[in-house]
Structure 1
Amino acid sequence: MNIFEALRKDHEKQRLLLKILAETSGDTAARREYYQELKLQLEGHALAEERHFYAHLLEKDATVDLTRHGIAEHHEIDELLAKLDDTEMSSPAWLRHLKNLQDKVEHHLADEEHEFFQVAGRVLNDKQKATLADDYVNEMEQEMSTATATA
């Protein structure tokens, strides 16, 4: 597996969770469960991606601007998650905030998959791509198990 395949796999999980959540209503156990899973996925993904993908690309002239843009979008996603946390799930505003989050995440994933990955693919060699994937996957597994243990 290379880093791009590992990231795309998690991107698909995020898209699915967002789609499922957008179809929920009210303050239900299902909405709470799916939201917690989405939040863990997004936060863990951002952390692991910044440590094991973006950090290496900040050093390359061809990818520094795209990397900074990606990090900025991670911060915007964090702000939208905080807004959701501060809004009652039974409120119609919660679903509006979720739709904003869904739009932001889907935009971010499309940016990465359709532009950033192509440029990064040219500056990383095959060994780096495989090593970064291993490091990223290990970090994600650690983040998910830590979050599950503290829940």
Structure 2
Amino acid sequence: MTETIYDALRESHEIQRSLCRRLLRSQAGTAARADLFKQLRVELAAHEAAEERYLYVPMLMDDMGLDASRHALHEHHELDELVEALQVVDKSGAAWMATAKKLSEKVHHHLREEEKKFFQVSGKIIPDARKIGLARSYRRDHARLLKKLAEG
């Protein structure tokens, strides 16, 4: 079976879920925690940018997709703000972990909502053949962004 945009997005969603779980179990003040946070930060940023381009833009072009797209973009902004708040030198305090838990909860909520709601709405808007092309474009852009963001 040919991969669609939804298959590609779900793969990144699973990576995000795993990184969130591992980050919350990480030990305070360790290089492992800092590395997990960086991996999560990079994955979220690459995923958001590519997803916005290859799922939300096509949805925004149809009246039926406006509300869902706007809501999802708002949630991406909220995730970005939490990631920014976590980008401090000391990742060992209770306040940092409380914010990390909030980020994890928001990531999990957003991914569930996408998979249960946004995918269904966009599935009615985007033609089947286009879903395959969008998967290729998403994967290419996501890989490029992962590399670029990991270096920076």
TM-score, structure 1 normalization:
0.96
The one of 123, 126, 140 aligned to 2:125: 123
1:98 aligns with one of 97, 100, 103: 100
Matches within 5 A, 1:102-113: 102-113=104-115
- The normalised TM-score by structure 2 is 0.95
Q: Deviation string for 1:77-120 (max 9, x for gaps)? A: 00000111136201111110000001111111011000110111
Please give the residue correspondences for 1:2-151 in structure 2 after superposition, counting only pairs within 5 Å: 2-86=4-88, 88-148=90-150, 150-151=151-152
Cα RMSD after superposing both structures: 1.1
SS of 2:64 mapped into structure 1: coil
Q: In 2, distance between residues paired with 1:5 and 1:40? A: 20
Of 74-83 and 22-31, more deviation after overlay is shown by: 22-31
Are the equivalent residues in 1 in contact too, given 2:5–2:138 (CA < 8 A)? yes
Does the CA-based 8 Å contact 1:14-1:42 persist in structure 2? yes
Q: In structure 2, list runs of 5 or more residues that go unmatched.
A: none
Contact 1:3–1:129 under 8 Å retained in 2:
yes
Give 1:64's aligned amino acid.
L
Q: Distance in 2 between matches of 1:70 and 1:110?
A: 11
Question: Compared with structure 1, are the counterparts of its residues 87 and 79 closer, same or farther at alpha carbon in structure 2 (3 Å cutoff)?
Answer: farther
Query: Structure 1: where are the runs of 5+ without partners?
Result: none
Deviations, residues 42-90 of structure 1 (Å, cap 9, x unaligned):
0111111111111111011111100000000000000000111136201
Equivalent pairs: percent with the same residue? 38
Paired residue total = 150
CA distance in 1, matches of 2:114, 2:102: 18
